[in-house]
Amino acid sequence: MSTTYIKITDFCGSHGIETTYVERLQDYGLISLHDREFIQHEELPRVEKIIRLNREMDINFEGIDVILNLLERIEKLDTDVQKLRNRLNLYE
């Protein structure tokens, strides 16, 4: 399965942001870039979420990092709860 990449310049042009903004996201460790010129297609929803949090809610990068980590923990806990419910259903 091949990985699809989007050029940063194309992404930034379509979202009305500067390429330096995306580079700063990588510098803060919020996203990963390929060769500092490409964003992995699977990473796009995360990048768009970061942009929304920063623009619409005026949350700084440190706050966004905390929010994303908490959301990931919540998703993991939800998965764990679902697995436990499935196991419990076996005994009912």
pLDDT band at 70 (very low <50, low <70, confident <90, very high): very high
- Tell me the pTM: 0.82
Interval 31-60 mean pLDDT: 94
* Domain-wise residue ranges, the chain: 5-91
What would the mean pLDDT of 5-25 be, rounded to a whole number? 95
Mean pLDDT, residues 9-20: 95
Fold of 5-91: Multidrug-efflux Transporter Regulator; Chain: A; Domain 2 (1.10.1660)
Q: Greater confidence, 36 or 67?
A: 67
The C-alpha atoms of residue 3 and residue 24 are separated, in whole angstroms, by 23
**What count of residues does the chain have?**
92
For residues 6, 14, 10, 19, the Cα torsion angle rounded to the nearest 10 degrees is -100
- Whether residue 1 is predicted with pLDDT greater than 80 in this model: the reply is no
> If residue 67 lies in a helix (H) or strand (E), which one and from where to where?
helix 61-91
pLDDT reported for residue 2 = 79
In which band, very low, low, confident or very high, does the pLDDT at 58 lie, cut at 50, 70 and 90?
very high
